[in-house]
Chains A and B, each alone.
Chain A
């Protein structure tokens, strides 16, 4: 092949001896370009660039042929794949000739961090960062932190009380001087780049002056609404709250909120304002409060925006919303909970105690009509609910499952324990739920018992739908806001499923918890710890090295047509006063969109110069 001075075959070129071979050959033969045709640049581009650099050559005089994703993994026809490998090598040899030396650049990293979402993932990540001495902004959309975990009663498989283990962490957030907690707030704008993100946060008015409210809750007592009439969000509408309320007793921050949709003062302006009277000289209520905008600069961001439970109305044959005795699992969590709407009594909407309870697994999971994926937590929380229902009511509990998935630590043991407690199991997906028809209010669960090989119709008093976990409905907007990706199921996409599980394709932005995919609390906390560690590694490095494969404008040539500006997914292109485009190379990720679009060919890209690409095409199209 023209231009090739030395070709070597070596089984493990990425090993130390393999790299040494490359270094030795560079020194012995005066090689000035290196091509490695091996697995994948994903894995070893850095390895070989480093080896080449150690031998005194510019690391960008190296090019790696991707024989894995571009060839062996995607072809079954071996001789054709071998021929393609040769084409790819020829292309690389022709391209690398045109490589020029490039330098990696550095950008400083701002030491503050932003954590978005105040569930257990966000709380844990914020506490970890704060305990390392970093200043953390924790932004939560709801009036309180705590997230879904605060709604749970017990946690599987240990049956720890969720509140008992969560609330100390919540108060630790509030009291930590390194954490600025902004609840009832949302991120509205994100600009900048790794190490230097400029973030705008909108703080919604809660009509309470935070610094003045002492959390005495007397205003709630005093509200002109003697009875709570508004469906209470925290209890999923199973209970009621007043227009002035606190989501739950241990809420953090311990501040009330006024809901302008239902407050008489907001509706009519003619309320007696007994709340203001009782607040008296504290004077913490402010009906004229406006939203507030905060602007901060942070070096790194952890997204922990959580999940939404599947809305079973989308599976109409389960009758949720139609039959009052069909509940979601999260509703039952609230019913079981001592601070819930029934004080921990498991009773039906008509006040009766259920004698038989059917728990339906995989509602909105493992189903081509809803979500194909397994939500991972439902089997175990269903077992937990079965245990709690049995414990509290003595009811007969029957679980309808497809497969029982209990792979976590102590999960299988928990399954056995619940089975031994007398919970029944029917292996079959429930096909239909309908009233018994004899007026006793019972519901028939119809399922094919695949172990018995027969259809069973089992009457129950209460149905619990074990709903799956879904991305937040606005996950796509959030994804765009932070410039990260989503996988096919809509959860945030990690950079690599195995080797970069908390990183995203936006440098300096990490994910933790269920926003990345369904997971239980231990996995969530492990992941938030990992995200915090990654964020710390970035912050403590102080500077970040940037790949030089960025695009640049040849400003003499640019005619200022602005075609490129709206195309950049990273907002890296600005329009200068002298009517030229300029690319901020720190922001540029080298995606090449502007390069392809520039109508006058005035934007070029390091490592993807036209000449290099045409040589590559030529190499592939030259049949040897």
Chain B
């Protein structure tokens, strides 16, 4: 009997599902090797099908997306019970991801922003003696490991096909990586960046630029050109896809194992190259970073030391 695997999505954009499909012909090898027992985006299985499975009967569940409502938490808990291994798949599950920026607000503020003073969603709807309820919308978006135990992490927004294939091989192979491992290299992206050698030893900048304000040179280090590239602080593994596409790294692979707070380190790395002695000079240098929280904590606010903005 082939080992069973499940794929599930929580608060996510669907990109991680795309990434699985992006495996191309490699996916045929996957399908040959395993039984996919649950994959709502592609296959018609229901929640009750999973609930009916014996505990531990699934080899591995790949869960993408952050946890931001009660339904996602329940499904995560269910899959945890049914699976030998849970993999946090992609930035949102690993670190909270872009949905995690909602932690700069709370549920009340978000609902107010979206619905204004108009009609609000009704949490419970009753009709002819039947009732239908919406899941509870949390104040705080959580990374997957704040809700259930997570065995492995696949970084990336989304994880690249190479990273996914590598993870599948690792899980199906004899030598399992140590629990808690992030299944990507443990050094920063500069290591894989073809532009690495063009960064000067003593780099200082009076100002940063945003990508739309310039046409970046194709060969030179993007940070040296004034783009706030987060490659120096971001875990390698993507093979510098964005820099190779002439765009700065935004940090989706998250921190290395040695860093506890990605955003603080990223901020520190960017601040370190600013050449300014007065507050005004420093402020001017950072004009091109109009949204520091959204820049430095783009993928990791829920897993940062602070986790969220303190309300009230």
Contact = CB atoms under 8 A, between A and B. Distances in A.
Contacts of A558: 187
Nearest to B255: A601
B191 A597 contact: no
Contacts of A597: 268-269, 272
A322 interface: no
Interface string A419-454: 000000000000000000000000000000000000
B130 interface: no
A579 B191 CA distance: 9
Contact of A566 (B186, B201, B233, B257): B201
A564 B188 CA distance: 14
Contacts of A599: 188, 230, 232-234, 259, 265-266, 268-269
A336 B53 CA distance: 107
Interface in A556-597: 556-567, 575, 579, 596-597
A602 interface: yes
Nearest to A558: B187
B20 interface: no
Interface residues of B, number: 32
User: Which of B200, B230, B231, B232 has most A Cβ within 10 Å?
Assistant: B232
User: Which of A554, A556, A565 has most B Cβ within 10 Å?
Assistant: A565
B269 A563 contact: yes
User: Which of A562, A575, A596 has most B Cβ within 10 Å?
Assistant: A562
Contacts of B260: 610, 614
Interface in A32-75: none
A563 to B, nearest CB: 5
B48 interface: no
Contacts of A598: 265, 269
B204 interface: yes
A559 B236 contact: yes
Interface of A is mostly: loop
Nearest to B187: A559
A595 to B, nearest CB: 10
Contacts of B190: 559-561
B126 interface: no
A487 interface: no
A563 B201 contact: no
Given A559-B190, A560-B191, A561-B188, A602 B201 contact: no
B202 interface: yes
A557 B258 contact: yes
B203 interface: yes
B273 A600 contact: no
B199 A600 contact: no
Interface in B177-219: 186-191, 196-197, 199-204
Contacts of B230: 599
Contacts of A600: 187-188, 232-233, 255-256, 258-259, 265
Nearest to A595: B268
B191 A559 contact: yes
Nearest to B235: A600
Nearest to A600: B188
Nearest to A565: B201
A69 B256 CA distance: 36
A558 B190 CA distance: 10
Interface of B: 186-191, 196-197, 199-204, 230-234, 236, 255-260, 265-266, 268-269, 272-273
13 contacts: A559-B191, A560-B190, A561-B231, A561-B269, A562-B203, A566-B201, A579-B196, A597-B269, A599-B188, A599-B265, A600-B233, A600-B256, A600-B258
Interface of A: 554, 556-567, 575, 579, 596-602, 610, 614
